Amino acid sequence: MARIIFCVFLLAVSGCASLPPRTLQDLDTSITQAIIIHPANHTQTRLSAWQKQDRRWHRVFCSSAVIGRNGLAAPGQKKEGDGKTPSGLYPLGPAFGYAPAIATGLDYKEIGDLDFWVDDMNSAQYNQWVHGKPQAASYERMKRPDNLYQYGVVIGYNMHPIVRGAGSAIFMHVWRRYNSSTAGCVALSERKLRRILRWLNKQSQPVIILE
């Protein structure tokens, strides 16, 4: 009994309550997986994962996570290079990583030495994954020496359409440390991220909600 009480206490203080947030009730009925990011302070957040079954949302698990060094951008206010994570609701996928294949229900792309993501807002390839040398003045190499992209998933921000200058390369990826912010992505431990990747399934049309 003491152990049960302690576990309930941990869920309460972490913000990962088992009751579904009202945000989930407004989602399209075709969406049956959702991740919610709840900022705890400026850069540290609580992540909760939810599965819809028999018309009801159930919390699958929760985790600590970090976001951009300057916190969440207000809706519609995200800008390239501002160090903020965009707020809003976005689709998830594809997954990516360094291995030829990983355990996930999402489409998966293996990262090679010639894979880049363009952050030059003046390039026609802005906010796109490019294989081969980009036609751009600035871009990010996806095969990072620090292994932050060893596992990850694309957050479908600023994709359809792409608005130049509104921000690029927003992912969920491995964190550097539990207290280290990002340039605008969502990051968490490798162990928790791999668990999320195993759970995510493209047939469930998964989304992430940053609020």
Query: How do residues 149-177 score in pLDDT, each as one tens digit?
Result: 999 999 999 999 999 999 999 999 999 99
The pLDDT value given to residue 6: 32
Amino acid letter for position 153? V
- Alpha carbon 10 to chain centroid distance? 24
The pLDDT value given to residue 39: 87
* DSSP SS3 for 104: coil
Residue spans of the chain under pLDDT 70: 1-18
Amino acid letter for position 1? M
The pLDDT value given to residue 90: 98
- Decide if 31 contacts 206 (C-beta within 8 A): yes
- Decide if 120 contacts 136 (C-beta within 8 A): yes
% pLDDT > 70, the chain: 91
The residue with tokens 């980009």 is 134
Tokens of 174: 């491995």
- Per DSSP (E only), the strands in the chain are 33-39, 44-53, 56-66, 72-73, 85-86, 88-97, 108-110, 115-118, 129-131, 139-141, 151-155, 171-174, 186-188, 207-210
- Decide if 126 contacts 162 (C-beta within 8 A): yes
- pTM for this one? 0.91
